[in-house]
Amino acid sequence: MNKKFATAINCMDGRVQLPVIHWLKKEAQVDYVDMITEPGPNKVLSENKDRIVIESIKKRVEISTKRRILKLIAIVGHFDCLGNPAKKDTQLKEIRSAIEVVKSWNLDAKIIGLWVDENFKVNQID
């Protein structure tokens, strides 16, 4: 019964939930995805200013990754985000910066960035 989980720090926008879950299940070969949602989480994490929200995200990620076989965390940004209305290039930079913030939490997990485009296609960013 060793099911594999991934953790997604995703926008609360319901349009991007299923595409991210399906991508992670297929590409990361996981059985389940724990979804931690905030409006524009890539912006919130990259700015690293709102301590209350960041500590809340961190606590939820710690719970999600505890005792998991596969420790994979995805940070997601998406097209047409109300919580982070920045253009794609800016959001990709924020995702990369957010990855560094989450790495600083020392969770012993692989951390990746995902972008969901206007067609709700998920792409891993470098």
pLDDT for position 94: 98
**pLDDT tens track for 40-65:** 999 999 999 999 999 999 999 999 99
Sheet holding 32-38, edge to edge: 32-38, 5-11, 72-78, 110-116, 122-125
Residue percentage of the chain with pLDDT more than 70: 99
**Domain carrying residue 35:** 5-125
Q: Which two tokens stand for residue 117?
A: 């485009």
Give me the number of domains the chain comprises. 1
CATH for 55: 3.40.1050.10
pLDDT for position 1: 63
**pLDDT tens track for 61-75:** 999 998 777 789 999
